[in-house]
Chains A and B, each alone.
Chain A
Protein backbone atom coordinates (compact mmCIF):
# COMPACT_ATOMS: atom_id res chain seq x y z
CA UNK A 1 0.00 0.00 0.00
CA UNK A 2 2.70 2.44 1.00
CA UNK A 3 4.43 1.77 -2.32
CA UNK A 4 1.24 2.55 -4.25
CA UNK A 5 0.81 5.69 -2.21
CA UNK A 6 4.36 6.65 -3.00
CA UNK A 7 3.75 6.22 -6.72
CA UNK A 8 0.59 8.29 -6.50
CA UNK A 9 2.31 11.08 -4.59
CA UNK A 10 5.24 11.00 -6.97
CA UNK A 11 2.92 11.38 -9.91
CA UNK A 12 1.22 14.39 -8.36
CA UNK A 13 4.66 15.84 -7.71
CA UNK A 14 5.71 15.53 -11.29
CA UNK A 15 2.53 17.19 -12.49
CA UNK A 16 3.19 20.05 -10.13
CA UNK A 17 6.55 20.45 -11.75
CA UNK A 18 5.48 20.01 -15.32
CA UNK A 19 2.56 22.30 -15.94
CA UNK A 20 3.64 25.77 -14.93
CA UNK A 21 3.72 29.20 -16.47
CA UNK A 22 6.16 28.11 -19.18
CA UNK A 23 4.10 25.19 -20.41
CA UNK A 24 0.85 27.17 -20.27
CA UNK A 25 2.22 30.22 -22.09
CA UNK A 26 4.15 28.37 -24.79
CA UNK A 27 1.42 25.87 -25.66
CA UNK A 28 -1.21 28.61 -25.66
CA UNK A 29 0.94 30.59 -28.12
CA UNK A 30 1.39 27.52 -30.26
CA UNK A 31 -2.30 26.65 -30.40
CA UNK A 32 -3.36 30.23 -31.10
CA UNK A 33 -0.87 30.80 -33.91
CA UNK A 34 -0.55 27.38 -35.52
CA UNK A 35 -3.59 25.28 -34.53
CA UNK A 36 -2.66 21.70 -33.77
CA UNK A 37 0.54 21.65 -35.82
CA UNK A 38 3.03 22.02 -32.91
CA UNK A 39 1.74 19.12 -30.79
CA UNK A 40 4.88 17.21 -31.88
CA UNK A 41 7.04 19.60 -29.85
CA UNK A 42 5.06 18.77 -26.68
CA UNK A 43 5.45 15.06 -27.46
CA UNK A 44 9.22 15.28 -28.07
CA UNK A 45 9.73 17.38 -24.94
CA UNK A 46 7.70 14.93 -22.85
CA UNK A 47 9.68 11.92 -24.12
CA UNK A 48 12.96 13.65 -23.29
CA UNK A 49 11.83 14.74 -19.83
CA UNK A 50 10.58 11.23 -18.97
CA UNK A 51 14.05 9.85 -19.70
CA UNK A 52 15.85 12.60 -17.79
CA UNK A 53 13.64 12.50 -14.69
CA UNK A 54 13.95 8.71 -14.58
CA UNK A 55 17.74 9.06 -14.79
CA UNK A 56 17.85 11.64 -11.97
CA UNK A 57 15.94 9.31 -9.67
CA UNK A 58 18.04 6.30 -10.67
CA UNK A 59 21.31 8.14 -10.09
CA UNK A 60 20.17 9.12 -6.59
CA UNK A 61 18.81 5.65 -5.75
CA UNK A 62 21.91 3.74 -6.88
CA UNK A 63 24.82 6.10 -6.18
CA UNK A 64 23.31 8.16 -3.32
CA UNK A 65 24.59 11.25 -5.07
CA UNK A 66 22.57 14.21 -6.28
CA UNK A 67 23.30 15.29 -9.86
CA UNK A 68 25.38 18.32 -8.92
CA UNK A 69 27.28 16.44 -6.25
CA UNK A 70 28.23 13.74 -8.75
CA UNK A 71 29.08 16.32 -11.44
CA UNK A 72 31.53 18.12 -9.18
CA UNK A 73 33.10 14.86 -8.08
CA UNK A 74 33.38 13.29 -11.53
CA UNK A 75 34.37 16.32 -13.63
CA UNK A 76 35.99 18.66 -11.09
CA UNK A 77 35.23 22.29 -10.31
CA UNK A 78 35.41 23.81 -13.79
CA UNK A 79 32.71 21.79 -15.53
CA UNK A 80 30.62 22.04 -12.38
CA UNK A 81 30.93 25.83 -12.42
CA UNK A 82 29.94 26.04 -16.10
CA UNK A 83 26.77 24.07 -15.41
CA UNK A 84 26.15 26.06 -12.23
CA UNK A 85 26.33 29.42 -13.97
CA UNK A 86 24.04 28.26 -16.75
CA UNK A 87 21.53 26.74 -14.30
CA UNK A 88 21.45 29.68 -11.93
CA UNK A 89 20.91 32.14 -14.78
CA UNK A 90 18.09 30.09 -16.29
CA UNK A 91 16.52 29.33 -12.91
CA UNK A 92 16.58 33.01 -12.04
CA UNK A 93 14.74 34.04 -15.23
CA UNK A 94 12.23 31.20 -14.93
CA UNK A 95 11.67 31.96 -11.24
CA UNK A 96 10.92 35.57 -12.14
CA UNK A 97 8.50 34.29 -14.80
CA UNK A 98 6.74 32.09 -12.22
CA UNK A 99 6.44 34.99 -9.78
CA UNK A 100 5.09 36.98 -12.71
CA UNK A 101 2.60 34.20 -13.40
CA UNK A 102 1.32 34.20 -9.81
CA UNK A 103 1.09 37.98 -9.84
CA UNK A 104 -0.83 37.97 -13.12
CA UNK A 105 -3.28 35.42 -11.76
CA UNK A 106 -3.98 37.81 -8.89
CA UNK A 107 -4.19 40.74 -11.30
CA UNK A 108 -6.83 38.88 -13.32
CA UNK A 109 -8.99 38.36 -10.24
CA UNK A 110 -8.43 41.69 -8.44
CA UNK A 111 -7.69 44.13 -11.24
CA UNK A 112 -4.62 45.38 -9.34
CA UNK A 113 -1.47 45.46 -11.51
CA UNK A 114 0.86 42.47 -11.31
CA UNK A 115 3.75 44.71 -10.27
CA UNK A 116 2.09 45.22 -6.90
CA UNK A 117 1.77 41.47 -6.44
CA UNK A 118 5.39 40.54 -7.17
CA UNK A 119 6.68 41.18 -3.65
CA UNK A 120 3.74 39.50 -1.81
CA UNK A 121 3.88 36.38 -4.01
CA UNK A 122 7.67 36.23 -3.74
CA UNK A 123 7.35 36.55 0.02
CA UNK A 124 4.75 33.77 0.17
CA UNK A 125 7.10 31.48 -1.81
CA UNK A 126 9.98 32.28 0.53
CA UNK A 127 7.87 31.83 3.66
CA UNK A 128 6.72 28.37 2.57
CA UNK A 129 10.36 27.35 1.99
CA UNK A 130 11.50 28.93 5.24
CA UNK A 131 8.79 27.35 7.41
CA UNK A 132 7.62 24.30 5.44
CA UNK A 133 9.02 20.79 5.30
CA UNK A 134 9.98 18.95 2.14
CA UNK A 135 6.86 16.76 2.39
CA UNK A 136 4.56 19.75 2.64
CA UNK A 137 6.03 21.31 -0.47
CA UNK A 138 6.28 18.08 -2.43
CA UNK A 139 2.74 16.89 -1.72
CA UNK A 140 0.65 19.89 -0.72
CA UNK A 141 1.26 22.12 -3.69
CA UNK A 142 1.17 19.23 -6.13
CA UNK A 143 -2.25 18.11 -4.90
CA UNK A 144 -3.55 21.66 -5.30
CA UNK A 145 -2.05 21.62 -8.78
CA UNK A 146 -4.64 19.07 -9.82
CA UNK A 147 -6.87 22.05 -10.58
CA UNK A 148 -4.98 22.03 -13.91
CA UNK A 149 -7.21 19.13 -14.95
CA UNK A 150 -9.67 21.90 -15.83
CA UNK A 151 -7.78 22.18 -19.13
CA UNK A 152 -8.43 18.52 -19.95
CA UNK A 153 -12.14 18.99 -19.14
CA UNK A 154 -12.24 22.08 -21.33
CA UNK A 155 -10.51 20.32 -24.22
CA UNK A 156 -12.97 17.44 -23.88
CA UNK A 157 -16.01 19.74 -23.88
CA UNK A 158 -14.81 21.54 -27.00
CA UNK A 159 -14.89 18.20 -28.83
CA UNK A 160 -11.69 18.56 -30.89
CA UNK A 161 -11.43 16.86 -34.30
CA UNK A 162 -9.37 13.81 -33.38
CA UNK A 163 -7.69 13.13 -36.78
CA UNK A 164 -6.33 16.68 -36.91
CA UNK A 165 -5.08 16.49 -33.33
CA UNK A 166 -3.30 13.21 -34.06
CA UNK A 167 -1.82 14.64 -37.26
CA UNK A 168 -0.16 17.30 -35.10
CA UNK A 169 1.95 14.62 -33.44
CA UNK A 170 3.99 14.29 -36.64
CA UNK A 171 6.64 17.02 -37.00
CA UNK A 172 6.11 19.20 -40.03
CA UNK A 173 7.43 22.33 -41.66
CA UNK A 174 5.79 25.61 -40.70
CA UNK A 175 2.53 26.47 -42.50
CA UNK A 176 3.38 30.21 -42.25
CA UNK A 177 5.54 32.60 -40.15
CA UNK A 178 8.55 30.22 -40.04
CA UNK A 179 10.59 32.20 -37.46
CA UNK A 180 7.68 32.44 -35.03
CA UNK A 181 6.91 28.74 -35.60
CA UNK A 182 10.41 27.52 -34.76
CA UNK A 183 10.77 29.93 -31.85
CA UNK A 184 7.51 28.62 -30.39
CA UNK A 185 8.64 25.01 -30.91
CA UNK A 186 11.90 25.80 -29.11
CA UNK A 187 10.07 27.45 -26.20
CA UNK A 188 7.75 24.45 -25.85
CA UNK A 189 10.77 22.12 -25.69
CA UNK A 190 12.45 24.35 -23.11
CA UNK A 191 9.29 24.51 -21.00
CA UNK A 192 8.94 20.73 -21.01
CA UNK A 193 12.59 19.86 -20.40
CA UNK A 194 13.22 22.14 -17.42
CA UNK A 195 16.56 21.25 -15.77
CA UNK A 196 15.40 22.47 -12.35
CA UNK A 197 13.00 19.51 -12.31
CA UNK A 198 15.93 17.06 -12.34
CA UNK A 199 17.81 18.83 -9.56
CA UNK A 200 14.68 19.03 -7.46
CA UNK A 201 13.83 15.40 -8.13
CA UNK A 202 17.31 14.00 -7.48
CA UNK A 203 17.79 15.96 -4.25
CA UNK A 204 14.26 14.95 -3.21
CA UNK A 205 15.17 11.29 -3.73
CA UNK A 206 18.17 11.79 -1.42
CA UNK A 207 16.01 13.61 1.16
CA UNK A 208 13.59 10.65 1.04
CA UNK A 209 16.49 8.13 1.42
CA UNK A 210 15.91 6.21 -1.80
CA UNK A 211 17.86 3.01 -2.49
CA UNK A 212 17.92 0.37 -5.23
CA UNK A 213 14.44 -0.85 -4.20
CA UNK A 214 13.06 2.42 -5.54
CA UNK A 215 14.17 1.88 -9.13
CA UNK A 216 10.80 0.44 -10.14
CA UNK A 217 8.79 3.13 -8.36
CA UNK A 218 11.02 5.74 -9.92
CA UNK A 219 10.39 4.41 -13.43
CA UNK A 220 6.62 4.41 -12.85
CA UNK A 221 6.60 7.91 -11.39
CA UNK A 222 8.71 9.38 -14.18
CA UNK A 223 6.74 7.73 -16.96
CA UNK A 224 3.19 8.17 -15.70
CA UNK A 225 3.73 11.56 -14.06
CA UNK A 226 5.52 13.20 -16.96
CA UNK A 227 3.12 11.66 -19.50
CA UNK A 228 0.23 13.12 -17.56
CA UNK A 229 2.01 16.48 -17.50
CA UNK A 230 2.41 16.19 -21.27
CA UNK A 231 -1.31 15.44 -21.65
CA UNK A 232 -2.15 18.57 -19.65
CA UNK A 233 0.16 20.69 -21.82
CA UNK A 234 -1.40 19.19 -24.97
CA UNK A 235 -4.84 20.03 -23.56
CA UNK A 236 -3.83 23.69 -23.21
CA UNK A 237 -2.61 23.68 -26.81
CA UNK A 238 -5.82 22.05 -28.06
CA UNK A 239 -8.03 24.53 -26.19
CA UNK A 240 -5.99 27.43 -27.58
CA UNK A 241 -6.24 25.99 -31.08
CA UNK A 242 -10.04 25.77 -30.79
CA UNK A 243 -10.73 29.02 -28.91
CA UNK A 244 -8.07 31.52 -30.02
CA UNK A 245 -6.91 30.23 -33.43
CA UNK A 246 -10.24 30.58 -35.31
CA UNK A 247 -10.57 34.19 -34.08
CA UNK A 248 -7.06 35.05 -35.17
CA UNK A 249 -6.07 36.03 -31.60
CA UNK A 250 -2.36 35.64 -30.99
CA UNK A 251 -1.96 36.37 -27.31
CA UNK A 252 0.34 39.28 -26.61
CA UNK A 253 -0.75 39.42 -22.98
CA UNK A 254 -1.84 36.96 -20.32
CA UNK A 255 -5.31 38.52 -20.22
CA UNK A 256 -5.91 37.06 -23.65
CA UNK A 257 -4.74 33.62 -22.59
CA UNK A 258 -7.26 33.84 -19.72
CA UNK A 259 -10.04 33.66 -22.33
CA UNK A 260 -9.05 30.05 -22.94
CA UNK A 261 -11.22 28.51 -20.26
CA UNK A 262 -13.90 31.19 -20.28
CA UNK A 263 -15.40 29.95 -23.54
CA UNK A 264 -15.81 26.25 -22.74
CA UNK A 265 -16.44 26.64 -18.98
CA UNK A 266 -18.06 30.06 -18.66
CA UNK A 267 -17.38 32.43 -15.78
CA UNK A 268 -16.12 29.56 -13.62
CA UNK A 269 -13.54 28.95 -16.34
CA UNK A 270 -12.11 32.41 -15.85
CA UNK A 271 -11.53 31.72 -12.14
CA UNK A 272 -10.28 28.21 -12.85
CA UNK A 273 -7.68 29.67 -15.20
CA UNK A 274 -6.54 32.17 -12.58
CA UNK A 275 -6.48 29.42 -9.94
CA UNK A 276 -4.49 27.05 -12.13
CA UNK A 277 -2.00 29.74 -13.02
CA UNK A 278 -1.57 30.76 -9.38
CA UNK A 279 -1.15 27.28 -7.94
CA UNK A 280 1.01 25.84 -10.70
CA UNK A 281 3.32 28.86 -10.67
CA UNK A 282 3.60 28.68 -6.89
CA UNK A 283 4.54 25.00 -7.13
CA UNK A 284 7.14 25.69 -9.78
CA UNK A 285 8.53 28.70 -7.88
CA UNK A 286 9.01 26.55 -4.76
CA UNK A 287 10.78 23.87 -6.80
CA UNK A 288 12.95 26.49 -8.53
CA UNK A 289 13.98 28.11 -5.26
CA UNK A 290 14.96 24.78 -3.77
CA UNK A 291 16.58 23.50 -6.97
CA UNK A 292 18.86 26.53 -7.11
CA UNK A 293 19.86 26.10 -3.48
CA UNK A 294 20.55 22.41 -4.18
CA UNK A 295 22.75 23.33 -7.16
CA UNK A 296 24.98 25.46 -4.93
CA UNK A 297 24.95 23.28 -1.81
CA UNK A 298 25.42 19.90 -3.51
CA UNK A 299 28.35 21.08 -5.60
CA UNK A 300 30.10 23.17 -2.94
CA UNK A 301 29.57 20.77 -0.04
CA UNK A 302 27.37 22.98 2.13
CA UNK A 303 25.02 21.51 4.65
CA UNK A 304 21.63 21.33 2.96
CA UNK A 305 18.11 20.05 3.28
CA UNK A 306 14.59 21.41 3.37
CA UNK A 307 13.89 19.50 6.59
CA UNK A 308 16.69 21.02 8.67
CA UNK A 309 16.31 24.31 10.50
CA UNK A 310 17.37 27.34 8.42
CA UNK A 311 20.22 28.14 10.84
CA UNK A 312 21.68 24.66 10.38
CA UNK A 313 21.90 25.11 6.62
CA UNK A 314 22.75 28.80 6.54
CA UNK A 315 24.26 29.17 3.07
CA UNK A 316 21.65 26.85 1.55
CA UNK A 317 18.86 28.97 3.02
CA UNK A 318 20.56 32.21 2.03
CA UNK A 319 20.85 31.13 -1.61
CA UNK A 320 17.12 30.59 -2.15
CA UNK A 321 16.34 33.72 -0.15
CA UNK A 322 18.53 35.88 -2.40
CA UNK A 323 17.23 34.25 -5.60
CA UNK A 324 13.59 34.83 -4.69
CA UNK A 325 14.24 38.42 -3.61
CA UNK A 326 16.07 39.29 -6.85
CA UNK A 327 13.44 37.57 -9.01
CA UNK A 328 10.65 39.52 -7.28
CA UNK A 329 12.53 42.76 -7.84
CA UNK A 330 12.87 41.96 -11.56
CA UNK A 331 9.08 41.65 -11.74
CA UNK A 332 8.49 44.87 -9.78
CA UNK A 333 10.68 46.59 -12.35
CA UNK A 334 7.88 45.88 -14.80
CA UNK A 335 9.36 43.41 -17.26
CA UNK A 336 6.59 41.91 -19.39
CA UNK A 337 5.94 38.48 -17.81
CA UNK A 338 4.72 36.79 -21.00
CA UNK A 339 7.73 37.87 -23.07
CA UNK A 340 10.09 36.92 -20.22
CA UNK A 341 8.47 33.50 -20.00
CA UNK A 342 8.75 32.76 -23.72
CA UNK A 343 12.32 34.05 -23.85
CA UNK A 344 13.54 32.15 -20.80
CA UNK A 345 11.98 28.92 -22.10
CA UNK A 346 13.81 29.34 -25.42
CA UNK A 347 17.02 30.06 -23.52
CA UNK A 348 16.51 26.84 -21.56
CA UNK A 349 16.50 24.94 -24.86
CA UNK A 350 19.70 26.67 -25.94
CA UNK A 351 21.59 25.55 -22.84
CA UNK A 352 20.21 21.99 -22.70
CA UNK A 353 23.37 20.20 -23.94
CA UNK A 354 25.46 21.88 -21.20
CA UNK A 355 23.20 20.22 -18.68
CA UNK A 356 22.35 16.92 -20.33
CA UNK A 357 25.69 15.79 -21.81
CA UNK A 358 27.76 15.59 -18.59
CA UNK A 359 24.73 14.05 -16.91
CA UNK A 360 24.62 11.32 -19.57
CA UNK A 361 28.31 10.53 -18.95
CA UNK A 362 27.47 9.95 -15.28
CA UNK A 363 24.55 7.74 -16.19
CA UNK A 364 26.89 5.49 -18.19
CA UNK A 365 29.67 5.39 -15.58
CA UNK A 366 29.72 2.10 -13.66
CA UNK A 367 31.36 3.82 -10.69
CA UNK A 368 28.08 5.66 -10.18
CA UNK A 369 25.24 3.56 -11.51
CA UNK A 370 26.86 0.09 -11.47
CA UNK A 371 24.74 -2.42 -13.35
CA UNK A 372 21.94 0.14 -13.66
CA UNK A 373 23.57 2.12 -16.46
CA UNK A 374 21.60 3.71 -19.28
CA UNK A 375 20.08 1.76 -22.12
CA UNK A 376 21.35 3.03 -25.49
CA UNK A 377 17.84 4.17 -26.41
CA UNK A 378 17.68 6.65 -23.54
CA UNK A 379 21.16 7.95 -24.40
CA UNK A 380 20.22 8.39 -28.05
CA UNK A 381 16.86 10.01 -27.30
CA UNK A 382 18.29 12.57 -24.87
CA UNK A 383 21.25 13.43 -27.13
CA UNK A 384 19.05 13.81 -30.20
CA UNK A 385 16.32 15.88 -28.56
CA UNK A 386 18.60 18.20 -26.60
CA UNK A 387 20.80 18.80 -29.66
CA UNK A 388 17.74 19.48 -31.79
CA UNK A 389 16.35 21.91 -29.21
CA UNK A 390 19.69 23.68 -28.86
CA UNK A 391 20.41 24.03 -32.59
CA UNK A 392 16.88 25.25 -33.30
CA UNK A 393 17.22 27.74 -30.43
CA UNK A 394 20.55 29.00 -31.73
CA UNK A 395 18.85 29.90 -34.99
CA UNK A 396 15.41 30.94 -33.76
CA UNK A 397 16.27 33.20 -30.80
CA UNK A 398 18.30 35.82 -32.74
CA UNK A 399 15.80 35.80 -35.61
CA UNK A 400 12.88 36.24 -33.23
CA UNK A 401 14.66 39.05 -31.39
CA UNK A 402 15.40 40.84 -34.68
CA UNK A 403 11.86 40.34 -35.96
CA UNK A 404 9.99 41.06 -32.75
Chain B
Protein backbone atom coordinates (compact mmCIF):
# COMPACT_ATOMS: atom_id res chain seq x y z
CA UNK B 1 0.00 0.00 0.00
CA UNK B 2 1.19 3.53 -0.77
CA UNK B 3 0.73 5.34 2.53
CA UNK B 4 1.43 8.76 1.07
CA UNK B 5 -1.05 8.37 -1.72
CA UNK B 6 -3.79 6.18 -0.31
CA UNK B 7 -3.92 7.15 3.35
CA UNK B 8 -2.28 10.50 4.14
CA UNK B 9 -4.58 13.50 3.55
CA UNK B 10 -7.57 11.22 2.90
CA UNK B 11 -11.03 11.90 4.27
CA UNK B 12 -11.69 10.21 7.63
CA UNK B 13 -15.19 8.82 8.12
CA UNK B 14 -16.43 7.47 11.46
CA UNK B 15 -18.65 4.47 12.06
CA UNK B 16 -21.80 6.58 11.55
CA UNK B 17 -20.58 8.02 8.22
CA UNK B 18 -19.76 11.39 9.74
CA UNK B 19 -16.81 13.24 8.22
CA UNK B 20 -14.37 13.66 11.07
CA UNK B 21 -11.40 15.32 9.43
CA UNK B 22 -8.48 14.35 7.23
CA UNK B 23 -5.64 11.97 7.93
CA UNK B 24 -3.24 14.74 8.94
CA UNK B 25 -0.43 12.43 10.05
CA UNK B 26 0.69 8.85 10.58
CA UNK B 27 2.53 7.29 13.51
CA UNK B 28 5.17 4.76 12.47
CA UNK B 29 6.57 2.23 14.91
CA UNK B 30 10.18 1.12 14.42
CA UNK B 31 10.69 -2.56 15.07
CA UNK B 32 13.92 -4.44 15.46
CA UNK B 33 14.49 -6.93 12.72
CA UNK B 34 11.46 -5.87 10.69
CA UNK B 35 10.13 -3.02 8.57
CA UNK B 36 8.42 -0.13 10.37
CA UNK B 37 4.75 -0.63 11.10
CA UNK B 38 1.92 1.90 10.99
CA UNK B 39 0.72 2.24 14.56
CA UNK B 40 -1.89 4.98 14.32
CA UNK B 41 -3.56 7.74 12.33
CA UNK B 42 -3.45 11.32 13.59
CA UNK B 43 -6.03 13.97 12.87
CA UNK B 44 -6.80 17.50 14.00
CA UNK B 45 -5.09 19.67 16.55
CA UNK B 46 -2.29 21.80 15.14
CA UNK B 47 -0.84 19.02 13.01
CA UNK B 48 -1.92 20.59 9.73
CA UNK B 49 -0.39 23.90 10.78
CA UNK B 50 2.90 22.15 11.55
CA UNK B 51 2.99 20.55 8.13
CA UNK B 52 2.39 23.92 6.48
CA UNK B 53 5.01 25.84 8.47
CA UNK B 54 6.46 25.48 11.99
CA UNK B 55 5.65 29.12 12.72
CA UNK B 56 2.00 28.52 11.89
CA UNK B 57 1.99 25.79 14.52
CA UNK B 58 3.23 28.22 17.16
CA UNK B 59 0.49 30.67 16.21
CA UNK B 60 -2.16 27.96 16.20
CA UNK B 61 -1.12 26.81 19.68
CA UNK B 62 -1.18 30.36 21.01
CA UNK B 63 -4.61 30.96 19.48
CA UNK B 64 -6.02 27.81 21.03
CA UNK B 65 -4.70 28.72 24.48
CA UNK B 66 -6.92 31.77 24.71
CA UNK B 67 -9.74 30.80 22.37
CA UNK B 68 -11.47 27.67 21.18
CA UNK B 69 -11.69 24.17 22.60
CA UNK B 70 -9.42 22.91 25.38
CA UNK B 71 -8.24 19.78 23.63
CA UNK B 72 -5.35 20.81 21.39
CA UNK B 73 -3.51 17.54 20.90
CA UNK B 74 -4.26 15.67 17.65
CA UNK B 75 -6.63 12.72 17.94
CA UNK B 76 -4.82 9.37 17.74
CA UNK B 77 -6.72 6.52 16.11
CA UNK B 78 -5.05 3.08 16.43
CA UNK B 79 -4.41 1.40 13.08
CA UNK B 80 -6.51 -1.60 14.21
CA UNK B 81 -9.57 0.69 14.08
CA UNK B 82 -9.16 1.29 10.33
CA UNK B 83 -11.93 -0.69 8.66
CA UNK B 84 -11.70 0.23 5.00
CA UNK B 85 -9.52 2.31 2.70
CA UNK B 86 -11.25 3.37 -0.50
CA UNK B 87 -12.63 6.74 -1.52
CA UNK B 88 -12.40 7.55 2.22
CA UNK B 89 -10.66 6.05 5.21
CA UNK B 90 -13.37 4.46 7.32
CA UNK B 91 -12.58 4.01 11.01
CA UNK B 92 -14.47 2.22 13.75
CA UNK B 93 -14.67 5.09 16.24
CA UNK B 94 -17.35 7.63 17.11
CA UNK B 95 -16.59 11.11 15.75
CA UNK B 96 -18.42 12.61 18.70
CA UNK B 97 -15.26 12.20 20.81
CA UNK B 98 -12.84 13.52 18.24
CA UNK B 99 -14.03 16.81 16.79
CA UNK B 100 -13.38 19.50 19.41
CA UNK B 101 -13.53 22.43 16.96
CA UNK B 102 -16.71 21.25 15.26
CA UNK B 103 -18.43 20.94 18.63
CA UNK B 104 -16.98 24.17 19.94
CA UNK B 105 -18.39 26.09 16.96
CA UNK B 106 -21.74 24.33 17.38
CA UNK B 107 -21.99 24.94 21.14
CA UNK B 108 -20.52 28.45 21.31
CA UNK B 109 -21.66 30.13 18.07
CA UNK B 110 -24.35 28.28 16.11
CA UNK B 111 -26.54 27.52 19.12
CA UNK B 112 -27.20 31.26 19.44
CA UNK B 113 -28.81 31.41 15.99
CA UNK B 114 -32.48 30.33 15.84
CA UNK B 115 -33.21 27.24 13.75
CA UNK B 116 -29.79 25.64 14.04
A residues adjacent to B (C-beta < 8 A): 63-65, 69, 72-74, 76-78, 81, 130-131, 297, 299-304, 309-311, 314-315, 317-318, 367
Contacts and interface: CB of A to CB of B under 8 A. Distances in A.
5 contacts: A73-B11, A300-B48, A301-B12, A310-B116, A311-B111
Given A77-B51, A310-B110, A314-B103, A367 B5 contact: yes
Contact of B102 (A64, A131, A299, A302): A302
B11 A69 contact: yes
Contact of B87 (A64, A297, A303, A310): A64
Contacts of B48: 77, 300
B106 interface: yes
B14 to A, nearest CB: 10
Contact of B18 (A73, A303, A310): A303
Given A300-B22, A303-B19, A311-B111, A65 B106 contact: no
Given A303-B20, A318-B110, 9 more contacts: A74-B5, A77-B52, A78-B51, A78-B52, A299-B22, A301-B12, A302-B21, A302-B102, A314-B105
Contacts of B102: 302-303, 314-315
B116 A63 contact: no
Contacts of A311: 106, 110-111, 116
The interface residues of chain A, by DSSP majority, are classed as helix
Given A64-B87, A65-B87, A314-B102, A300 B9 contact: no
A76 B87 CA distance: 16
B101 interface: yes
Contacts of B35: none
Residue with the highest number of chain B CB atoms closer than 10 Å, among A73, A76, A297: A73
A163 B102 CA distance: 59
A64 B10 CA distance: 13
| In the complex, the 8 A-B pairs of residues with the closest C-beta atoms, listed nearest first | A301-B22, A314-B106, A301-B21, A314-B105, A303-B19, A311-B116, A310-B116, A64-B87
Contacts of A304: 19
Interface string B69-91: 00000000000000000010000
A309 B18 CA distance: 13
Given A72-B22, A302-B102, A314 B110 contact: yes
A318 B109 contact: yes
A206 to B, nearest CB: 10
A300 B21 contact: yes
Interface string B1-43: 0000100111110000011111000000000000000000001
B69 to A, nearest CB: 12
Contacts of B9: 72-73, 76-77
A78 B56 CA distance: 12
B116 A315 contact: no
Residue with the highest number of chain B CB atoms closer than 10 Å, among A76, A131, A300: A300
B114 to A, nearest CB: 10
Contacts of A65: 87
Nearest to A80: B9
Contacts of B51: 76-78
Contacts of B101: 315
A302 B19 CA distance: 6
B32 to A, nearest CB: 31
A309 B116 CA distance: 7
Contacts of B110: 310-311, 314, 317-318
A401 to B, nearest CB: 31
A78 B48 CA distance: 10
Contacts of A310: 110, 113, 115-116
Residue with the highest number of chain A CB atoms closer than 10 Å, among B12, B20, B105, B111: B105
B18 A131 contact: no
Contacts of A73: 9-11
Contacts of B10: 73
Contacts of A297: 19
B6 to A, nearest CB: 9
Nearest to B114: A130
